[in-house]
């Protein structure tokens, strides 16, 4: 490795030279990312040893999830480095000009001629040569497809693998799964980019809807929005249900269905009203050309609203942004009440029941963090809407952050609901001839003031 100013050169001597500079650079990037991941694993190992001295040993699922999380920075680094590869001939010329005495004949030389781009944001945010539409399109496709698979599996398990003791709560799980499934499906179909400028709100669609025209993209986008908003209200209902059943008997499935229909009405009204907010796509395109002349929108499907102060657009914007903070506060308050109730020392419960309570607390902690992605989405939108800063990365990030919510939500049920976890282990890990072992079981009968635990 030869550093020089903001230039970084690599000379390879190994067997990769037989496959050319591209192969050497790719293998070098993979090697570096394993080095960095090894450092994070060392930190995780010490953190694990400290954790088990204070609490019970975490399950294999939790350890695998932790390893996956600490792997993400190394994976991003690898992808960023591979994208930052400069043409080898240019690298050779720059190296010759910097070090004319070096004999470079016959050597495989690779590198990056401007590491400032890499250091700023993992070589992605400030690299002008990157087509953001391609990067975010792949990201949306992968996350949306996985989200549909996860939520489809969750819906199946809620319908056919739910014990009678939590049958009523399964109604809410099915609602969650269906809502998040369609949110992922329409995101995959639309793959939206949000561009606010003044009172105009423009949408650039990169998904398959572009083959069917602007109107189809706009209708699909409005459907996606209304599923995302309903998902937020459903999350609040889920926490309210869990708090309610700690004090009173669980409501019937018919009552839950009725409540779901009631909280669905604002989202339904949002979808219907937003259909009338679409303006002429060519007018929106002209506004974008004037506001952002550097944006290349050729070949992209553009839709939008010229004046967001009209009721149909304003109601949607307010319904998608304003409830997030109060709903999140309510969720945190409900979570605190639930934890306080479950920690009540006056309730005499068995060891298995206490383990079940511990699992529920972990699920609540996990799910309480999910609405945080709403805040990131609203923040990225507000930065552009108020003219603070406009950048393609922020415009794509708004719905990329939203998409993580229906993608991550079903994982809580997979990890923390024991019957579902057993079903997944016996169905999928059986192919690897691994028999999963459960450390705790769900009791069917116990005495306490808690009627049903969802």
State both tokens at 377.
Answer: 């989405």
Choose between 136 and 133: higher pLDDT. Answer: 136
Of 182-196, 254-268, 276-290, 406-420, which gets the smallest average pLDDT?
406-420
Pairing of strands 2-4, 7-12: antiparallel
Share of the chain above pLDDT 90, in %: 28
Cβ neighbors of 90 (< 8 A, separation 6 or more) are: 113
* pTM for this model (two decimals): 0.67
DSSP 409-428: HHHHHHHH-HHHHHHHHHHH
Q: Kindly list the distances between the CA atom of residue 184 and the CA atoms of 132, 171, 228, 400, 404, in Å, as whole numbers in the listed order.
A: 20, 20, 9, 11, 9
Choose between 274 and 6: higher pLDDT. Answer: 274
Mean pLDDT of 401-428: 85
pLDDT-derived band of residue 304, with 50, 70 and 90 as boundaries? very high
Give the whole-angstrom CA distance, residue 134 versus residue 398. 16
Give the whole-angstrom CA distance, residue 73 versus residue 32. 12
Contact 229, 270 (CB under 8 A): yes
Give the whole-angstrom CA distance, residue 207 versus residue 139. 12
Give the whole-angstrom CA distance, residue 49 versus residue 65. 17
Question: Which pLDDT does position 346 carry in this prediction?
Answer: 53
Question: Which pLDDT does position 335 carry in this prediction?
Answer: 82
List the 108-112 sheet strands across, edge first. 2-4, 7-12, 108-112
Candidates 87, 40, 86, 32; CA nearest to 67 is 40
132-432: CATH architecture = Up-down Bundle (1.20)
pLDDT-derived band of residue 275, with 50, 70 and 90 as boundaries? very high
> Around Cβ 371, how many Cβ atoms within 10 Å?
19
pLDDT-derived band of residue 196, with 50, 70 and 90 as boundaries? very high
Q: Name the residue ranges covered by the structural domains of the chain.
A: 2-121, 132-432
Question: Which pLDDT does position 350 carry in this prediction?
Answer: 55
pLDDT tens, position by position, 50-77: 888 877 888 887 888 888 888 888 888 7
pLDDT at 117 over 60: no
pLDDT-derived band of residue 191, with 50, 70 and 90 as boundaries? very high
Beta bridge partners of 208: none
pLDDT-derived band of residue 221, with 50, 70 and 90 as boundaries? very high
Contact 305, 267 (CB under 8 A): no
Question: Which pLDDT does position 17 carry in this prediction?
Answer: 84
């Amino acid at each position: 490795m030869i550093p020089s100013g903001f230039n970084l050169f690599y000379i390879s001597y190994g067997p990769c030279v037989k496959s050319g500079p591209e192969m050497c650079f790719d293998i070098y990037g993979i090697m570096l990312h394993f080095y960095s991941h090894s450092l994070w694993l060392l930190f995780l190992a010490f953190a694990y040893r400290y954790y088990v001295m204070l609490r019970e040993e975490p399950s294999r699922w939790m350890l695998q999830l932790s390893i996956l999380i600490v792997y993400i920075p190394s994976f991003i680094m690898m992808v960023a480095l591979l994208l930052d590869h400069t043409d080898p001939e240019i690298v050779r010329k720059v190296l010759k000009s910097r070090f004319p005495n070096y004999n470079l004949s016959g050597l495989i030389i690779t590198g990056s001629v401007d590491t400032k781009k890499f250091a700023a944001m993992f070589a992605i945010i400030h690299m002008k040569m990157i087509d953001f539409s391609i990067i975010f399109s792949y990201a949306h496709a992968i996350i949306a497809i996985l989200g549909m698979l996860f939520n489809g599996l969750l819906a199946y398990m809620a319908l056919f693998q739910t014990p009678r003791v939590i049958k009523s709560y399964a109604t809410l799980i099915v609602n969650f799964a269906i809502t998040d499934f369609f949110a992922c499906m329409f995101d995959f179909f639309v793959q939206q980019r949000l561009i606010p400028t003044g009172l105009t709100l423009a949408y650039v669609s990169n998904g398959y809807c572009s083959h069917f025209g602007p109107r189809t993209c706009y209708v699909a986008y409005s459907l996606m929005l209304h599923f995302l908003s309903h998902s937020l209200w459903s999350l609040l209902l889920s926490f309210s249900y869990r708090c309610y059943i700690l004090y009173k008997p669980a409501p019937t499935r018919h009552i839950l269905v009725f409540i779901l229909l009631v909280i669905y009405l604002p989202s339904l009204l949002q979808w219907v009203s937003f259909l009338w907010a679409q303006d002429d796509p060519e007018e929106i395109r002209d506004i974008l050309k004037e506001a952002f002349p550097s944006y290349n929108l050729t070949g992209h499907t553009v839709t939008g609203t010229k004046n967001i102060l009209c009721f149909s657009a304003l109601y949607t914007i307010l319904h998608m942004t304003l409830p997030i903070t109060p709903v999140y506060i309510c969720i945190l308050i409900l979570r605190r009440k639930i934890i306080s109730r479950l920690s009540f020392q006056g309730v005499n419960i068995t060891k298995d029941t206490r383990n079940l309570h511990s699992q529920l607390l972990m699920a609540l902690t996990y799910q309480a963090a999910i609405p945080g992605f709403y805040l990131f989405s609203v923040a990225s939108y507000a930065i552009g809407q108020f003219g603070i800063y406009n950048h393609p990365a922020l415009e794509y990030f708004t719905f990329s952050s939203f998409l993580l919510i229906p993608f991550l939500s079903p994982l809580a049920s997979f990890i923390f609901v024991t019957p579902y976890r057993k079903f997944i282990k016996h169905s999928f890990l059986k192919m690897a001839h691994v028999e999963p072992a459960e450390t705790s079981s769900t009791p069917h009968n116990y005495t306490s003031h808690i009627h049903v635990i969802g």
